[in-house]
Structure 1
Amino acid sequence: MQFDDDANLDTSEVKDARGSRIPGGRATVGGGLVGLVALVLGLLFGVGPDQLGLSEGSPDPAATSSSVAQVQQTCRTGRDANTRDDCRLVAVVNSTQDYWKQEFQRRGGRYSPASTVFFTGRVNTACGTATSAVGPFYCPADRQVYLDLGFFNELRSQFGASGGPFAQAYVVAHEYGHHIQNLTGTLQKAQDGRQGANSNAVKVELQADCYAGVWAHNATRTPDESTGKPLITRLTDEDIRDGLDAAAAVGDDRIQEKFQGRVTPESWTHGSAEQRQQWFYQGYRTGDMAQCNTFR
């Protein structure tokens, strides 16, 4: 995965709250058993912690303030994205939003951007309080993606993914898939409280995987507004394999087998490893969001 060295990164799309102190209250999604249950239930790569009843309290604006602002100081160009993990994620956010903005315009609509919040350990959101135990998630109430960068180490060590830069990009693109669903009204279908292999919750997650693939298909041909050239200049077959591997690693069946020793499809919320790979590749192969109708 390669970025244009001379491209300018737009750090306004990322809020860097790493190292910020979260005042008051207590963490309601902790490590140990509670964190493990959260992972098995499937908030991983999902939508706000309030869905699982694992949060409490009102959002604290200070929690997402850019008090450290590391990315604003260090992530300026594509060259930085080619050498630093956090800058790479800034570049992926930029590329993802460039694509969806242009796609919405092509379809006669208007794209509303979403920020990504980098945090460490715990964060308060409009969807409630969460810790990094729940994995990356999108909060529809404040239209922000939340990401503890330490998760990518866990993706390799705990979930057995091969890792790599594009595995990280896949995670970000999946969360922006939820943002697209929020803008189009599809995300509400997952709010019926049902679980299971054929539930709307699973179909919403698989569609977000497909949207991630659609972005990947178009990433190297989407012009950056500042330069008129694509921000991402190269994606290799190995990159796509890393993305597929990450998708499989967080399939409900893989997670359940690893953490509870058995597979229970009636409690699925995200889909199997095979389904997640299938729908990501469907998006990547076609490059067309219209081919991501998981509800048919």
Structure 2
Amino acid sequence: MTFSEGMQIDTSTTSSSGGGRGPGRGIAVGGGIGGLLIFVVAMFLGVDPSSVVPQQQIGTEGVETPGFDLSQCRTGADANAIVQCRVVATGNSVDAIFGQLVQGYQRPRMEIFTNSVDTACGAATSDVGPFYCPGDQTAYFDTGFFDILRDRFGSSGGPLAQEYVVAHEYGHHLQDLQGSLARAQQDPEGATGGGVRTELQADCYAGVWAHYASITKQESTGVTFLEPLSDKDIADALSAAASVGDDRIQEAATGRVNPEAWTHGSAAQRQKWFTEGYRTGELNACDTFATNNLG
């Protein structure tokens, strides 16, 4: 159990859609190594997913599936029992914490979808993974990704591993508000490029969220969002961060590591920057653009 059972879930900025049931949940752009690498580039994307997945490959044809019933999400107990509610509750907690740390912070919208979704950044399928679209300031989640994170990429399946993913995408929203998100496109590839620095900063922001999540009280209820975090909880988050490191993904897909093609950072770097945010609780400690030592 992670969330305090007495906290109340606010779904006012969340919507849910089913999307079209396409030809399957395989990788949308081809198959084999090429498709996997495109999938990796898209994962945790903070920018236009259509720039990674060609539009003609993204379909919404077929049977429409219903969206998730958000009325099931009322309390922290629901967040502990239902993964979609956990995603919404995590967004609530990140909003509360960033709202206290950043003057003028504005909440993003969240959409929980299945199969495919239309966004201001273009159409996307579940194969893109969780992403944030600056065009509509919305974080998009298909919770089936958490199974992929565990089964295909070796992450632990603990709740904080899932919550880290949500906090990371909200970190991209904070970057959008700060005006730094676009720096990811200035030099999107390479071990010290803007893409890696942007992703590592979002990891650090997720760590800042974790620092405060169990000590920040929800204004409406007076209870903390999360219960005290254990060493295992933090290990779960670090496991998720490491599992999507560029080096691990590349080695699994091709048998070799090529830092010139990195877009998100190594497993060790992602763990380092999450830990830095968690240790300090300071957003200023997350300035990955100002350091020559990314880890």
Contact 1:28 1:130 in 2 (8 A): no
- Distance in 1, Cα, partners of 2:188 & 2:208: 27
Match of 1:95 in 2: 93
- Distance in 2, Cα, partners of 1:244 & 1:74: 29
Contact 2:187 2:193 in 1 (8 A): no
Contact 1:22 1:123 in 2 (8 A): no
Match of 1:11 in 2: 11
Distance 1:16 1:31, change over 3 A: farther
Match of 2:75 in 1: 77
Once the two structures are superposed, the pairs formed by residues 179-258 of structure 1 within 5 Å of their partners are 179-258=173-252
Greater displacement, 82-91 / 95-104: 82-91
Q: Deviations over 1:182-221 (max 9, x none)?
A: 0001111112243100101100100000000000001112
What is the root-mean-square deviation of aligned Cα atoms in Å?
A: 2.2
How far is the alpha carbon of 1:29 from its aligned partner?
A: 4.0
How far is the alpha carbon of 1:21 from its aligned partner?
A: 3.8
Q: TM-score, normalised by structure 2?
A: 0.88
Where do 5+ consecutive residues of structure 2 fail to align?
A: 57-64, 291-295
- Distance in 2, Cα, partners of 1:184 & 1:29: 32
Q: Deviations over 1:56-101 (max 9, x none)?
A: 38xxxxxxxx963512x21111121122111111111110111111
Once the two structures are superposed, the pairs formed by residues 1-296 of structure 1 within 5 Å of their partners are 1-17=1-17, 19-21=18-20, 29-30=28-29, 32-33=31-32, 35-40=35-40, 42-50=41-49, 52-56=51-55, 68-71=67-70, 73-104=71-102, 109-296=103-290
How far is the alpha carbon of 1:3 from its aligned partner?
A: 1.7
- Distance in 2, Cα, partners of 1:55 & 1:111: 33
Distance 1:31 1:49, change over 3 A: farther
Greater displacement, 29-38 / 73-82: 29-38
Contact 2:72 2:78 in 1 (8 A): yes
Q: Number of paired residues?
A: 278
Return the letter of the residue paired with 2:154.
G
How far is the alpha carbon of 1:136 from its aligned partner?
A: 0.8
Q: What percent of counterpart residues are identical?
A: 50
Where do 5+ consecutive residues of structure 1 fail to align?
A: 58-65
The 3-state SS of whatever aligns with 2:190 is: coil
Q: TM-score, normalised by structure 1?
A: 0.88
Match of 2:293 in 1: none
